[in-house]
Amino acid sequence: MLGVGILKGLAETGRNFVGSYFDPKRMVTVEYPEQRLPLKENSRQFPFLVFDGDEAAIGLRCVACQICEKECPPQCIYIEKSKDKKPDHLGKPQYYPAVFDIDTSVCMSCQICVEVCPFDAIKMDNQYELSTTDRFGGLLLNRDQLTKPNGYFQTLHPTDASEIDTRREEERVKAAAKARADAEAKAASAAKPKVAATGTTTVNNAPGVAS
């Protein structure tokens, strides 16, 4: 009969309308600025640079290897390597970025930089309220704006961060042990010049394991 389909549809609309007041499954609207949904652990917006400890200049993990700059699909990262070196968490002298800019108006939040970084130095932030009144300078983030402590990263991605911290701690312990062994071997070789050959082999192996 003509009109039955329309009436059925109207009944459905009515059910949805009433349900939007009572049925939790249909009460889906979130009044955004007042209410906020909890962010997912994996959610990503723009990258930031992680540093260990309290001092960004000392603890910055980035060694300015420029892999992310090369791999970044929209080419929004600009890095200038430092002239001097600073020790990393293993005590090895490394370069650090003298300039590290990310143009967030170009960045497409793809996370490729995070994936290719061998030093766990760049990670995704989930800060999404980023509007500024200055569309050029305000969206171009420099190194100081990008660096954030490891504790912040811990709050964003706890699973990921604790895994990385354990790995880095292991690396550090291993490197410290190796440094101690090397120092002992050196001291031993200085004391007994004859056994120097064995001592040298250990030292030769060391960079391969550490890297």
Partner 1 sequence: MSGGNGGSTQGSGSPGLSAVDRFALLPQEMEDGGGSWLEISMGPQHPSTHGVFRMDVVLEGETVVKLKPVFGYLHRNHEKIAEGTSYLSSMPYTDRLDYFCSLTNNWAYALAVETLVGLQVPERAEYLRVITAELTRLQNHTCLAGFLMQDMGASGTPLMYGFREREFILDLFESLTGARMMCNYMRFGGCRCDTPAGWLDQVRTVVTDYPQFLDEFENLLTGNEILMSRTQGVGVLTKELAVNASISGPCLRAAGVDYDLRKVDGYGIYPRFPFRVPLGDHGDTYDRYMLRILEMRESLKILEQALKEIPEGPVIDPKAKLRGFRPKPGEAYGRIEGPKGELGFYLISDGGANPYRYRVRPPSLINLTVLEDLCLGHNVADTVIILGSIDIVLGEVDR
Query: Closer to partner 1 at the Cβ: 40 or 194?
Result: 40
Minimum separation from the CB atom of position 76 to partner 1 (A): 12
Q: In what order do the strands lie in the sheet with 122-124?
A: 122-124, 47-51, 147-149
In angstroms, what is the minimal distance from the CB of 74 to partner 1?
9
Pairing between β-strand 86-87 and β-strand 93-94 as defined by DSSP bridges: antiparallel
> Measured from the CB atom, is 15 or 135 closer to partner 1?
15
Look-up of token digits 């070789």? 189
Tokens of 128: 């999404």
Instruction: Give the residue among 47, 37, 60 at the shortest CA–CA distance from 125.
Output: 47
Measured between alpha carbons, how far is 36 from 200 in angstroms, rounded to an integer? 60
For residues 40 and 83, which CB has a smaller minimum distance to partner 1 in the complex? 40
Nearer to partner 1, 29 or 204 (CB): 29
Q: Least Å distance between CB 209 and partner 1?
A: 20
Summarize as ranges the residues that interact with partner 1 (CB under 8 A). Answer: 2-6, 8-9, 11-13, 15-16, 25-26, 28, 40-44, 67, 71-73, 108-112, 115-116, 124
Question: Of 123 and 143, which has the nearer Cβ to partner 1?
Answer: 123
CB of 147 to partner 1, least distance (A): 22
The pair phi, psi for residue 79, each rounded to 5°, is: -125, 140
In a 3-state reduction of DSSP, which class is residue 207? Answer: helix
Report the b/e string of 178-196 with b at 16+ CB within 10 A: beeeeeebeeebeeeeeee
CB-nearer residue toward partner 1: 111 or 145: 111
| Structural element, H or E, at residue 112 | helix 112-116
